Amino acid sequence: MTEVKAPDLNAMRGFIFDVDGTLALADRGLNGYAPLPGSLELLELLRSRGLPYVVFTNGSLKTPVQLSQALGNAGIEVAPERALTPPAIAVSVFRNKGYKKILVLGAEGVWKPLVDAGFDVVCAPERADDADAVFIGWYPEFGLPDLDAASRAIWQGAGFYTVSTVPYIASRDGRTLGISGALTAAISSVTDKEAIVVGKPAAEAFAIAREILDVAPEHVAIVGDDPALENEMAHLNGAISVSVHTGLYKANDFARLPENRRPHYSLSGIDQLLELMR
């Protein structure tokens, strides 16, 4: 089994940052971001060196514009076009599939990017049995009529997509329920269909982020707190994995991974990454 070797961080030419548990922590409702130590200084350092970065959250409560504004309120500067969410990736995936009509279970951050892209969007619990795809996102208000609408569309042949299947995410209050994951699991149990994830660690998600950065994969560092998301996306796509322990996973969680799946860097937090790059 091949051991992961740490490359020179100063050879990196672009960065993909997770948000929750990496750059910042929000409250249980995923609002009111507070930057984690070193975040503001590291991003300022990258800007001063002309090194591009994007932020990429698997959260779908906010549109990219809203995410940019929320992070900006915490002092984290990121342009809307460099604030990525899974619905932005779904636009590309659905276009490539030739889909037209999408049944959405989700809040504004889920359906609005699809509407803006010109898709015929139906929001559950309204039925759309003839939908090309069912798309699941952040939707704390979901109920049985939503489950019924989604299941009927999938039974009729609709594709089944979700922003994420993780059971929980990091917040200032500790674990916060990953609503899209819970809802996706419920629909899977009824339909016996497995959802396709359009967020991290999907290859399409990395491809779009890398296209924005305009940097070769081996010169991209992906910084995050989840071994199955950012770390896995780096290994799947030939990028560099930088894992931090400020979310729900700690050093021993990353150390228990198979040697060839461990992060290239396992750090206490963004502040340690800042010190390594100074």
Q: pLDDT tens digits, residue range 11-47? A: 999 999 999 999 999 887 777 899 999 999 999 999 9
The Cα–Cα gap between 261 and 2 comes to 9
- Hunting for tokens 């604030």 — which residue is that? 83
Residue 214: left (phi > 0), alpha (psi -120 to 50), or beta? left
Q: pLDDT tens digits, residue range 69-117? A: 999 999 999 999 999 999 999 999 999 999 999 999 999 999 999 999 9
Q: Are residues 146 and 105 in contact, defined by beta-carbon separation less than 8 angstroms?
A: yes
Q: Of the candidates 47, 79, 44, which has an alpha carbon nearest to the alpha carbon of residue 64?
A: 79
CA 122 to chain centre: 23
Helices 144-155 and 179-191: angle between axes, nearest 10 degrees: 50
Straight-line distance from the first to the last Cα atom of the chain, in angstroms, rounded to the nearest whole number: 33
pLDDT tops 80 at residue 62? yes
- Those residues with Cβ within 8 angstroms of residue 35's Cβ, 6 or more apart along the chain or in another chain: 23, 24, 74, 75, 76
Confidence at residue 265, expressed as pLDDT on a 0 to 100 scale: 97
Query: Binning pLDDT at 50, 70 and 90, where does residue 5 land?
Result: low
- Considering the chain, what is the average pLDDT of its residues? 94
Q: What percent of the chain has pLDDT over 70?
A: 97
Confidence at residue 4, expressed as pLDDT on a 0 to 100 scale: 57
Q: In order of start, what are the domains of the chain with their CATH numbers? A: 9-85+200-277 (3.40.50.1000), 86-197 (3.40.50.1000)
Within 10 angstroms of residue 81's Cβ, the number of other Cβ atoms is: 12
pLDDT tops 70 at residue 3? no
**What predicted TM-score, i.e. pTM, was given to this entire model?**
0.93
Q: How far, in Å, are 60, 192, 218 from residue 199 at the CA level?
A: 10, 21, 21
Q: Are residues 15 and 273 in contact, defined by beta-carbon separation less than 8 angstroms?
A: no
Query: Binning pLDDT at 50, 70 and 90, where does residue 170 land?
Result: confident
Q: Are residues 88 and 204 in contact, defined by beta-carbon separation less than 8 angstroms?
A: no
Confidence at residue 1, expressed as pLDDT on a 0 to 100 scale: 39
Q: Of the candidates 5, 15, 109, which has an alpha carbon nearest to the alpha carbon of residue 62?
A: 109
Q: pLDDT tens digits, residue range 201-228? A: 999 999 999 999 999 999 999 999 999 9
Query: Binning pLDDT at 50, 70 and 90, where does residue 2 land?
Result: very low
